[in-house]
Structure 1
Amino acid sequence: MSRLTIVALAVLFTLSGGCQAPNDDHAEAQLVRVPYQSTFDQSDREYFVYLPKGYHEDDTTKWPVMLFLHGNGERGNGKNELDYTLAHGPIYEAWVQKRDLPFIIIGPQLHMHGRDSVIGYLKNRSPENYLKRLATGVPEREADFATTVHMSGRPADENYPYESYGPVVGWETVEQDLIDMLDQTLKNYKTDKSRVYLSGLSYGGFGTWYLGSKHPDRFAAINPIVGWGHKELMKPLAEHRMPIWCYAGGRDLVIQKQYFYPGLNELERLGHMARFTIEADMGHDVWKRVYAGQDIYDWLLSHRK
């Protein structure tokens, strides 16, 4: 039995300074906090569920579902630090930028795993920098990361710096929590079970490859961004003919593009193909362009199980 505890009535979540005004044209959109107990460490935590505009207007409509896995910088305790997960990705687009994205979006937060003791940007962040939904208008978008790296091609490299699941203590540690969240969302909301998608950036990109490979029957399509897929993960994806669109940054020195090729070539050897886009002019923050655009949402919605 799932250890997630679902409240009978979802409580509308409002950000500081961002309460929904009666005249807001997205007033029906909601960001809900859902409590659960983690199977990893039995801690009491919460995750976000975004309900799109129009969700409550028609009881017959079944909504597509997207599970979004954030990057390393948005880890936290799943309570008062959960707001950090609004920094990037589809919930940022839908909630903070008030875009009308037609998905129910699940937004979990990865455990800290002690990373704040070794990673400066985790140690030094502040709640004052939370991104907030404004009562009127939207906040200015963050500038792209600066890079002085010249654009160039790189040969494929199978000398991965990480194990098959990606960097240390990533989303693989809470695999069961993620599946439970997905199951409970499908059960408790008006969802289209044939249109369930998985997307993630950086650490979440690796998590997308991992979770998609371990549970290929659960998703209609996956979208890993700046996280490569290890060769060992490709067989289940090929067998299930999983639609995949992955992205790399041409100037990314964090997750370098040469490590994408071995897994993609293995996928092709197994008789399947992924769509692979290199944003040659960008560094690690390729997700800003991907999620701010429209192509990825249209592509996901074009697939169903």
Structure 2
Amino acid sequence: MKMKNIFLTFLLTLVTMISSYAQKENLSSEELLRVAYISQYDNTAREYFVYLPKGYSNNPNKKWPILMFLHGNGERGNGTDELDYVMIHGPLYEAWVQKRDLPFIMIVPQLHMFDMEKLGIDYINGRSTDWIPKRLKNGVPERPQPEISQENFTGTIANDSIPSREFILKYGWNNVQEDLMSMINKTLADYNTDKNRIYLSGLSFGGYGTWYTASKNPNVFAAINPVVGYAYPELMKPIADAKIPIWNISGGKDTSVPAQYFYTGINKLKELGYHNIRLTVHEDTGHVETWRRVYGGQDIYDWLLNQSK
């Protein structure tokens, strides 16, 4: 009798394992869609990416979280034949190119050029389509080699003389707020989404864009993750009032967006009585390597998925 029970238990376990494996094998593949729109900024025809995660089509009753990603300065373009530049960095690179199972519906727009190409910036004027990573039929491409900063460790001392926003405002995500909100609203209407779990993340120019967008639309987002983007104090009150969870990340060796200027906005939030804030300084990383580590890791995705309105 005892042997019979052991055998039945073994069979039940085996059937469960096979069933679980079959379900995983039958999950629908991830999809990358190009969605057309007319920009309210300049009335031009453009596109943005919507990424549907693995298994999206299998369960029509499941509500998926939304992750909107705002890229940095070097990936901007015309939103049509230049759109693929937005895949160079960030969560879309991780999910689509590296084929990681990230359970978000992603919205990934491209910022207008705003005549930035006239400024003679090497990483814009000298960029090539060879920089755009390709999704392979089998396997994944090798990741870029880490950029090891040669700067000495000096520690980070807060500096309240935060640089002016003038340049960022002239060329930044603040100029396309109506477009961003329209993308979110269309995604909510067209796909199985959870309106209580809309997340916003961005790097560098997109890091500031994350702060700005959350400040101007504070009731939309369940959490925000600005990476190597300053928190300007004048943007903080709506974010504090809406009690948006924040994880702000900088690099201790970042000479482009130095960590010393991150504390002003964070301290403003605390002054306003808001404390659901994480500020992480990766002391050993520079500008680019900070966001590669953040999006190439798992921590930020796990944290976002645990946030809900």
Judge same fold: TM > 0.5, yes or no.
yes
Whether the 8 Å contact between 1:116 and 1:122 is mirrored in structure 2 is yes
Q: Secondary structure at the match of 1:40?
A: coil
Aligned residue identity for 2:93: Y
Equivalent position SS for 2:36? strand
Percent identity at matched positions? 52
Q: Which deviates more, 156-165 or 266-275? A: 156-165
C-alpha contact 2:251 2:283 (8 A) present in aligned 1: yes
Q: Structure 1 residue 166: deviation in Å?
A: 4.1
Moved more, 154-163 or 167-176: 154-163
**Matched ranges for 1:73-84 at <5 A:** 73-84=74-85
Partner Cα distance (2:67, 2:237) in 1: 23
Cα distance, 1:162 vs. partner?
2.3
> 8 Å contact 1:222–1:242 — kept in the other structure?
yes
Secondary structure of the 2:212 match is helix
Residues of 2 paired with 1:144 and 1:74: CA distance? 20
| Secondary structure of the corresponding residue to residue 198 of structure 1 | strand
* Structure 1 unaligned regions, length at least 5: 1-23
Distance 1:300 1:95, change over 3 A: same
Equivalent residue number for residue 33 of structure 1: 34
The letter of the residue matching 1:43 is T
Mark the CA change 1:27 to 1:60 in structure 2 (over 3 Å): closer, same or farther: closer
Residue 168 to residue 257, structure 1, CA distance change in 2 (3 Å): farther
> In structure 1, what is the equivalent of residue 278 of structure 2?
275
Larger proportion of helix: 2
Q: Which residue of 2 aligns with 1:197?
A: 199
Matched residue, 2:245: 243
Moved over 6 A (4+): 24-27
Is contact 2:28-2:58 (8 Å) kept?
A: no
Equivalent residue number for residue 145 of structure 2:
143
Opposite residue 237 of structure 1, the aligned amino acid is I
1:155 aligns to what? 157
Given that residues 88 and 131 in structure 2 are in contact (C-alpha distance below 8 angstroms), is that contact kept between their aligned partners in structure 1? no
Q: Deviations over 1:213-254 (max 9, x none)?
A: 111100000000000110001111111111000100000000
Which residue identity lines up with residue 38 of structure 2 in the other structure? Answer: Q
What is the rounded CA distance, in whole Å, between the counterparts of 2:164 and 2:205 in structure 1? 12
Give the distance between the partners of 2:243 and 2:28, measured in 1 at CA: 39
**SS in structure 2 of the partner of residue 181 of structure 1:** helix
Conservation of the 8 A alpha-carbon contact between 2:68 and 2:201: yes
Change (3 A) 1:145 1:167: farther
Question: Partners of 1:125 and 1:281 in 2: how far apart?
Answer: 27
RMSD: 1.5
Query: How many residues end up aligned between the 2 structures?
Result: 282
The structure number with the bigger radius of gyration is 2
Aligned-partner Cα distance in 2 for 1:213–1:31 = 29
Instruction: Give the match's secondary structure for 1:144.
Output: coil
How big is each residue's C-alpha offset from its partner over 1:184-233, in whole Å with a ceiling of 9 and x where there is no partner?
Answer: 00111110111100000000000000001111100000000000110001
**Once the 2 structures are TM-superposed, how far is the Cα of residue 165 of structure 1 from its aligned partner?**
9.0
Which residue identity is paired with 1:112?
Answer: M
TM superposition shift of 1:27: 6.2
Matching residue within 223, 226, 229 for 2:228? 226
**TM-score of the superposed pair, with normalisation by structure 1:** 0.89
Match of 1:299 among 299, 303, 308: 303
